[in-house]
Amino acid sequence: MAPKISTAQRRLLKEFQELLKSPTDGIVAGPITEDNLFRWRCILEGPPGTVYENGVFEAEMDFPADYPLSPPKMKFTSEILHPNIYKDGTVCISILHPPGDDPLQYESADERWGPLQSVEKILLSVCSMLAEPNPNSPANIDAAKLWRENRDKFDEIVRAQVLKSLD
């Protein structure tokens, strides 16, 4: 008898099939192994016209058992300097914040996670975030400070990371 598939697994399988059927330029994502739909590897190309351009950055997404009611967690495994990415690689972006009102009243509820979001929307949002950092709400304070006060140095570090991402 085949094991029972959960709502979350069904949704993740559907999203993976959708990504395979209609790929998005600069984005590749899917389960790391066939037997675990809750952990994905993602590869994002640095957005054109940005300091991240030509970079190939790897990340992992971990989905909760109640997906899509709760958002996944996303963490870059490639080294990447960015104001909205913690030093450990964890992505800090509104779309990955739990649904509902922001207790700090910084984000509106419609910017935060909702069950209608998808893996593709998350990855497109992260690509947009790479192109347009929000230094006013930094996850990496040092990166935000460098981005604001010494853009040449910031760009130099990121360019080195882009080259390293191609190894």
- Any idea which residues carry the catalytic annotation? 92
User: Residue holding tokens 């209609």?
Assistant: 22
SS (H, E, C) 60-109: EEECCCCCCCCCCEEEECCCCCCCCECCCCEECCHHHCCCCCCCCCCCCH
Residue 84 phi, psi dihedral angles, 5° rounding: -105, 20
Q: Which residues pair with 33 in a beta bridge?
A: 36
